[in-house]
Amino acid sequence: MIHFGLWLPLVAGLILLLIPSLGRNFAVAAAVVSLLISLILFAGYDGQGVAYASQTPFLPEAGVYYAVGLDGAGLLFWIAVSLVVLLGVWVARVPVGFLALTLIMQTGLLGIFAAQDLIFFYAFFEATLIPSLLMLWFFGGPDRLRAIYTFALFTLVGSLPMLAAILAVRYLGGADSFLYSDLAANPLTGEAAVLAFLGFLVALAVKTPLFPLHTWLPLFHQQNHPSGLADAMGTLYKVGIFVFFKWAIPLMPDGFERWQGALLFLAAFGAIYAAWLAFSAPDWKTLLAYAGVSHMGLGALGLFSGNMEGTVGALYLLGASMVYGSAMFLFVGLVYRRTGSLEVSPVRGLARHTPALYVLGMFLLMAMIGLPGLSGFPGELMVLLGAYQVSPWLTFVAFLSVIAAAAYALTAFQKLFQETAQTQAVPDMDAREWGFAVVAVGVILLMGLYPRLFTVHLEPLGRAIASLFGGGS
């Protein structure tokens, strides 16, 4: 079933490109089936390592296998990706070709979390860029070419060093193949590990994104389609924390230890720096872009702490941010449909005409700033507890970003929905948007009130990371 779940969105997306008359209903049906498969796989998971594992020789002479499988983290992210894609194709008002690219990109994202061969992981990691760039090329804003060139430059700078590092991990480490099991049994050590880890670090600092390689992100979001669907897919593509956890740290522990101090500093500083920039964001997409950088800096701080609490918190925060971050971008798309503007200042007083949209926006915003009981809180709490064990001062710096998030987000929200009442009436949420709201709110509440549903499967993974550095907590 894992193979069907992995390739179904790609096949559905290609069919939709060839037969666009199938329309939105076809995309929604494919997304529903994909989410059901993810839930079935999660329900059947026994919590023991990698489940649903399968491997087939692809280039056996080169040690490359089509190998897939899912552990607790992979299953969490499969559900998050499938859920967000369903919400996106359901509520976003976009051309059929856009929906097809969304489904195609979904397969790339699922492949990143399921790959058990490093070459196949790299293939999914890079291939996912193609539909993302096509969304921007065909459906982006007037300055989209500059956004594409900027993103392509950053991606190229990161991808080539990572490819070199991938080859070094296998051939200098002495593994028989690129399978994760073989590579983990022969981790790269010494100075070679330090340099190879740097190769991964450059690429993942772009894709997490981490300071200072985050500067492409605001322009990328500004020029994406105003519906928010492309931005939601971009939020799902912030997979750097997962790749550090899955590949870079276990396969190059010596490299991670050498860079750990610098990484902790960059993560904490990036979290507060991006939160500060969000205060001056001129539009909602820029604000959410910097908010995402801040949250990923916080998550990276937890992961780089190298203990169980920090690792579990980082993975949970990544999964939660996929949901509430994507939902916020889709919410902003709903606002744009009513006002024709994404700017923070000019459009004000919407609460008078759209009370339901107002409540939905406030709820999603509360999840984003980590209100207890909602999905952002458990991950942030575990991250801070884990980071405190390593560096109380950096934890304090990162905690300031949590306080800043409440300030910049609520200030912008007040300008949008309150203050001067808008004189021109705009419609409140319709039936389709209510469906989006009910599902998003329900999932955010579930993740906030019952995090144990997922963390029970993340804790063994966190202990495994901690054991690499002599810790068991």
Which residues, other chains included, contact 55 with Cβ-Cβ below 8 Å and sequence gap of 6+?
65, 66, 67, 68, 116, 117, 179
Measure the CA–CA gap between 438 and 442, rounded to whole angstroms: 6
Burial of 400 (0-12, 13-18, 19+ CB in 10 A): middle
pLDDT of residue 453 exceeding 90, the answer is yes
Look at 422 and 312; give whichever has higher pLDDT.
312
Cβ count near 218 (within 10 Å) = 24
Instruction: Label the pairing between strands 51-59 and 64-70.
Output: antiparallel
Cβ count near 45 (within 10 Å) = 16
Angle at 160 between CA 154 and CA 165, to 5 degrees: 125
Identity of the amino acid at 136: L
pLDDT score, position 52: 93
pLDDT score, position 473: 47
The pLDDT-based confidence of 346 (bands split at 50, 70, 90) is low
Measure the CA–CA gap between 182 and 64, rounded to whole angstroms: 11
Of 362, 343, 344, nearest to 354 by C-alpha is: 362
pLDDT of residue 320 exceeding 60, the answer is yes
Look at 52 and 352; give whichever has higher pLDDT.
52
pLDDT of residue 83 exceeding 50, the answer is yes
Of 36, 31, 48, nearest to 1 by C-alpha is: 36
- Angle, helices 118-127/129-139, rounded to nearest 10 degrees: 0
Look at 240 and 384; give whichever has higher pLDDT.
384
pLDDT score, position 419: 61
Measure the CA–CA gap between 166 and 151, rounded to whole angstroms: 22
Angle at 88 between CA 339 and CA 365, to 5 degrees: 60
Measure the CA–CA gap between 189 and 176, rounded to whole angstroms: 16
> Which DSSP helix (H) or strand (E) runs through 440?
helix 431-449
Which residues, other chains included, contact 414 with Cβ-Cβ below 8 Å and sequence gap of 6+?
none
Of 286, 289, 290, 310, nearest to 300 by C-alpha is: 310
Write the pLDDT tens digit of every residue in 403-420: 898 888 888 887 777 666
